[in-house]
Structure 1
Amino acid sequence: MTDFSPRLFASDAEIVHLGEGLLACSLAREDWTHEAHLAACLYLLTARPDVDVDAEIAGIISRFNESVGGVNDDANGYHDTITRAYVAGVRLFLRERPAGGLAERVNALLCSPMGRRDWPLGFYSRDRLFSVAARRGFVEPDRAPLPTMC
């Protein structure tokens, strides 16, 4: 595991800006950080019931990547397995902490095990997680099952 101090957020407005900016493809590329990914995910899951995260997240992130000049190929851009692992992690976190302001919950998420940059490696070997197959589509974990909502 690696030590990393996440950048925390000062206001709910920052979280709304990230979530809506992702949807509108209006964020600056440099704003799309690990912390922003998790903040936007929590925002979409809690504040945008009109967005079916499971069905739409791949298209949302892929469109954003392309809007800032990125590509979604075998080596860059959208990574389906990492994204879906973190969606599961954010849902797990929200089950444990369903109430509170956006910034308060996002900051707590970022400081939790589910917010760590290496959290998916608790479920996946490095080779499996960083494979082309895992980038292009969801692959099942090979170390431990991902948490579920059941």
Structure 2
Amino acid sequence: MTTDYSPRLFERDTDIRALGESLLACTLPREAWTHEAHLGACLWLLSERTDIDVDAQIGTIIGRFNESVGGVNDDTQGYHDSITRAYVAGVRLFLSETEETELAARVNAMLRSDVGRRDWPLRFYSRDLLFSIAARRRFVDPDLAPLPA
């Protein structure tokens, strides 16, 4: 695990809501779809968009966005199901434990936590399995430890 992670934080709740709405509308600029944006949008979806079934729709949401900005979802690029679902589990875990109530404060606290780290899924998956075509295309169970329930 790396030790020098310094996430880009969000200033306002409205920034996160605008990010999430832009993701859903496929109007977010490609360069704005960062690691932090992925996690901020996920937390927003889980906490404020309860009308969306994240488990059933996250692949479609991200895949559609990727294609809208000229990306491709294939065996080597674009949407990665196992990484995404690992982070969804992590964001849910974080939400169940945090005492933060404001959206930006929750997202920033999560980004500073272990769950927010870029290498967090590697606590559960070997590198070979996580970066396999099978794990990209569909969810595969972790081989090192179970994901948080």
TM-score range (shorter-chain normalised) is over 0.9
SS of structure 1 residue aligned to 2:22: helix
1:98 Cα deviation after fit:
5.6
TM value normalised by structure 2: 0.98
1:134 Cα deviation after fit:
0.2
Point out where structure 2 has 5 or more consecutive residues left out of the alignment. Answer: none
Q: Deviations over 1:102-128 (max 9, x none)?
A: 100000000000010000000000000
What residue number does 1:15 align with?
A: 16
What residue number does 1:55 align with?
A: 56
Point out where structure 1 has 5 or more consecutive residues left out of the alignment. Answer: none
What residue number does 2:32 align with?
A: 31
- Aligned CA RMSD, in angstroms, stands at 0.7
1:133 Cα deviation after fit:
0.1
SS of structure 2 residue aligned to 1:4: coil
**Is 1:90 aligned to 2:95, yes or no?**
no
Q: Distance in 1 between matches of 2:53 and 2:134?
A: 23
What residue number does 1:69 align with?
A: 70
Q: Distance in 1 between matches of 2:42 and 2:54?
A: 8
1:97 Cα deviation after fit:
1.2
Q: Which moved more, 1:80-89 or 1:93-102?
A: 93-102
TM value normalised by structure 1: 0.97
What residue number does 2:128 align with?
A: 127
What residue number does 1:143 align with?
A: 144
**Is 1:107 aligned to 2:99, yes or no?**
no
Q: Distance in 1 between matches of 2:50 and 2:66?
A: 23
Q: Deviations over 1:16-62 (max 9, x none)?
A: 01111110001000000000000000000011011000000000000
Q: Distance in 1 between matches of 2:105 and 2:68?
A: 30
Q: How many residues align?
A: 148
Q: Distance in 2 between matches of 1:81 and 1:112?
A: 20
Deviating 4+ runs (over 2 angstroms) = none
